[in-house]
Amino acid sequence: MGLLEQFSHWNFYLLGTYPKGEIGGLALNIILAALALSLSFIFGVMLGYSRLSCRMYIKYPCVAYIEIIRATPLILLIFWFYFFLPYLVGGNISIFWSAVISLCVYAAAYQAEIVRAGILAIPRGQLEAALSTGMSRLQAMKSVILPQAFKIMIPSFMSFFVSLFKDTSVTYIIGVIELTQTGIIISQRQPDKMLSAYLSMAIGYFVICYTLSHVARRLEKKIGIYDLESYRPDACRDEYMLLPTHKTGDEEEHPSRICSPKPEFRKDL
Amino acid sequence: MIKFINVYKAFNDQCIPLKNINLEISKGEVVVVCGPSGAGKSTLLRVINKLEPIDDGEIIVDGMHLSDPKTNLTKLRAEIGVVFQHFNLYPHKTVLKNITLAPRKVRGLSRKQAREKAVQLLERVGLAHKRDAFPIQLSGGEQQRVAIARSLAMEPKIMLFDEPTSALDPELISEVLEVMISLVKEGMTMVIITHELAFAQKVADRLIFMDNGEILEVGKPADILVNPQHARTREFVSKILHVH
Amino acid sequence: MMITGVKITLVLLVTTTISSLLLGNVIAIMRVSRTRFLRVLGNLYVEIFRNIPGLFWVLFFYFVFPELLPSGLSEKLNSYLYYPVIAGILGLTVDNASYVSDILRSGRLAIPHGQREVAISTGLNRVQQWIYVLLPQIYRVTLPPLGTRMVHNFKNTSLCMAITAPELTWATQQIESLTFRGIEATTIATLFYICLAAIMVSIIILLEKYLKIDISSITHSRA
């Protein structure tokens, strides 16, 4: 019966104090994740592409950025920006934007890895064919490699979005009133309703994540059938199923990656 | 047209090394390269448009020095058409777009001009009816003919063929060879890697036999195939002829 | 305070790594079992725990879990000094185990059917099949993704600051609020996380090299 009474709070869970005050709750989680993903997208693509560069002064800063961000807990990143962004900007900055910026910095590193893996999954012959017809590297990337790579990357981006969505819950620590925060606020005001508050939180996260990850899985299957098979039949299909499509930092070392394309692009190409 | 002067290429994990290659190919000449796998045939071909860099020596293609950093690689490559063993068609583009992409991006042709030319080329390789198909929908022989048309669309001065028929089913080989023969008749400068010795005998002005990154024999195809000088060549030729 | 923080973080890391491996193993085996009930149960577990953030589970075990227990026990737990750490371990374990089981399961599916058949035909029983034939191969194949998962789990130990477990991130925030020397503390903490993550990655790479040699020598002697 506790759950039934909870339904009067549904607005708070979903939208925060929206019509009267600021938007919050589950909607804010989605907004945060979507903003972070889209704002950092270009940056992520550039990072991922530059990481494959042969020029040391381009490559290593990117590697350093990606590896440092990926090795730092998100909470610490959020604190870094929460505490130090005001110094940098020299004024107050709302917790919402400091959360968005830290999520962007975080997401860019992971997106860079997705982009890198996507580009590497395209057989080397494609680049060679494009170069042989006289295209420059940039033209080859733009019209031949990236269109194919993005298609492969779509499921990875989807599942990264799911994980980013879950990660937005961490922003409650600096006081962003998203779903976790709303649940905690309610359970603190009415301790007897704690169980149903947590249940509502769980349902909120579950519904969104479950739907999105199922769409991602279906897309992956579809793309797996129609696209990957049109590439070299022996190439890198197994590890697509085996490895989670993001957060795979060590994929070069993977034993089944015998026939994978060369991880480094070369200067002369 | 193409001149190799003391070309060396050290071993790396991507290709077979080359040792002391000296070779001159004149305009309009058709040269067939053969030899066992791992002999460096592909490397020889790929250094011509610098898909692989060389470590020593010099290659001069159409007056352009490859080791000169000022050489415009893009321009050089636009003059050289390459046909690969595995076709390397762009799977996300239709046949027509595969062909028009480079002329539009590199030569700056308008969509209409590029299209007209592509249709012409497709007619020439006998695939005008497949212009809107995607590469997956084509057979291997058809894909390879599209790949040839794609290279021709740039109006190259030189065509390089890297085992164009070895990934094809036997009954599809002749359709690709026919297209190549028509190119020979037009007087195109061509370097062809192939194991089709009968074809080589028919079209080649010169035949080159390679092993271990070295050129062992150069000569008229009839001479080499009938009367090989080198023991390695003899062994290779007898094996190949035995199979056929 | 920082040193206690490091200690607690390490405790969290070691315990959750081991416990989530064990739990993940059990769930993975359930998910490929022949019994339908076990399969459904395993899949249900993974769906539930993968689709809800780890932070939620940490909070859940701290705030809600004691309430569900008999009142005597819950009071004991709430007054126990290290209960935040225990709740953190529980929360991280159930979260991480769902990922681990997913990785192990795909590893199981990657192993050729013939391996199982050989194991059966040499007369091994089902437990022996898993222990001697399947699991060693599964761990070898899944080592890289498993490793990245464990590094991720290590970073997630910082979530325990939300329930005042005195680990490293919590310590830095305490230092910030007590002495306002947040910059120094946060810098040190970040460096610590990066270094330990790097150490973990290199251990995984070493382990992988070692296992690779092991396997190749076996196949070599067989040939």
Q: Which three-class secondary structure state does DSSP give residue B207?
A: strand
For chains A and B, what is the number of CB pairs under 8 angstroms?
77
| Beta carbons of B77 and A231 less than 8 Å apart | no
Q: Which three-class secondary structure state does DSSP give residue B241?
A: helix
Contact A257, A250 (CB under 8 A): no
Contact A129, B82 (CB under 8 A): yes
Please check whether residue B65 lies inside any domain of the structure: yes
| Beta carbons of B106 and A129 less than 8 Å apart | no
Contact B16, B40 (CB under 8 A): yes
CATH number at residue B72: 3.40.50.300
| Beta carbons of A244 and C103 less than 8 Å apart | yes
Domains of chain C: residue spans and CATH: 2-222 (1.10.3720.10)
The domain tally of chain B equals 1
Q: Which residue from C55, C64, C140 is facing A198, i.e. has the nearest CB?
A: C64
Confirm or reject CATH 1.10.10.10 for domain A24-254, answering yes or no.
no
Give the residue numbers spanning the domain of B28. Answer: 2-86+158-243
Q: Which residues of A touch B (CB under 8 A)?
A: 123, 125-126, 128-136, 139, 143-144, 147-148, 151, 227, 230-232, 262, 268-269
For residues C113 and A217, what is the distance between their CA atoms, to the nearest angstrom? 24
Nearest Cα to Cα of residue B21 among B30, B34, B8, B31: B8
Please check whether residue B118 lies inside any domain of the structure: no
Distance from CA of A197 to the nearest CA of C (A): 10
Distance from CA of B37 to the nearest CA of A (A): 18
Interface predicted TM-score (ipTM) over 0.95: no
pTM: 0.79
Please check whether residue B215 lies inside any domain of the structure: yes
Contact C168, C154 (CB under 8 A): no
| Beta carbons of A134 and B86 less than 8 Å apart | no
Q: Write out chain C residues lying below 8 Å of A210, CB-based.
A: 47, 51
pLDDT computed for residue A88 by the predictor: 79
> What is the token pair recorded at A156?
């990875």
Half-sphere CA count of C153, side-chain side, radius 13 A: 33
Of the listed ranges B6-10, B158-162, B238-242, the least confidently predicted one is B238-242
Q: Write out chain C residues lying below 8 Å of A201, CB-based.
A: 56
DSSP for chain C, written as a single string: -HHHHHHHHHHHHHHHHHHHHHHHHHHHHHHT-S-HHHHHHHHHHHHHHHSS-HHHHHHIIIIIHHHHS-HHHHHHHHH-TTHHHHHHHHHHHHHHHHHHHHHHHHHHHHS-HHHHHHHHHTT--HHHIIIIIIHHHHHHHHHHHHHHHHHHHHHHGGGGGGGT---HHHHHHHHHHHHS-HHHHHHHHHHHHHHHHHHHHHHHHHHHHHHHHHHHHHHHHH-
pLDDT tens for chain A, 269 residues long, are 444 455 556 677 777 666 666 777 888 899 999 999 999 999 999 999 898 887 888 899 999 999 999 999 999 999 888 888 887 777 778 889 999 999 999 999 999 999 999 999 888 889 999 999 889 888 999 899 999 998 888 888 988 999 999 999 999 988 888 888 888 888 888 888 888 888 888 999 999 999 998 888 888 777 764 444 444 333 332 222 223 333 333 333 333 332 333 333 333 33
Interface residue of B68, B74, B134, B143 to substitute, partner A, most A CBs within 10 Å: B74
For residues C46 and C25, what is the distance between their CA atoms, to the nearest angstrom? 12
State pLDDT tens for residues C35-83. Answer: 899 999 999 999 999 999 999 999 999 988 888 887 777 777 777 888 8
Domain boundaries, chain A: 24-254
pLDDT computed for residue A266 by the predictor: 37
Give the Cβ contact number of residue B121 at 10 Å: 20
Instruction: Report the amino acid identity of residue A208.
Output: I
